[in-house]
Copies of this chain bind each other. A is one copy, B any other.
């Protein structure tokens, strides 16, 4: 069982990784991902669900742009889950999630996810421990449904940044004109709740279904991108996909 003490887990790249070498390697992997995604789409037997979680300014948007931005948009979708709409709030919390589950042949990226219903909600006391436990069971059942009944392969990434790095990034949003659109006063208040977030995240990591969460040291974007690209490449390679033959197409 992996260790999930977020206070102890590193937010930076291991020493052996050199920035330039790693970036070049990532560049190569991103090229491979394009080919693999094309094969996934053509074969149409598997679906991929990538879940991105992390505190504010942990770099979720960045990884989507850098790692997935050059894939064929015909086979990749992204959904950002914000505060539920009135229609969504009228349903169970997994309704809007299930609607966006990936069909066979496609990759879906969740920028935040079903897990928010046991994270931000718990930190703010809108969801107590008992309800959180019920929701975790529902999430586990739901992921089993996707895995067992639609060949969905799930990757769960927690982008792990230090308090200092987070503060720096939030501050940059007040000075860099290209980042001001992300400024939100409340983020500074949320940042003070880091310890509470750690504790609900750790509980979630421990009690949720396979696959295990990948804790991604994310203070350096180049390392974060490398790790995520590599995890997806390895997953896709492991599926032993094949292009359908003419025969399979009924010729």
Contact = CB atoms under 8 A, between A and B. Distances in A.
A199 to B, nearest CB: 23
Given A90-B105, A104-B90, A141 B134 contact: no
A99 interface: yes
A144 B145 contact: no
A150 interface: yes
Interface residues of A, number: 26
A61 to B, nearest CB: 27
Contacts of A152: 92
A138 to B, nearest CB: 5
A168 B101 CA distance: 44
Interface in A81-109: 87, 90-95, 98-99, 101, 103-105
A185 interface: no
A92 B150 CA distance: 5
Given A95-B98, A99-B98, A144 B141 contact: yes
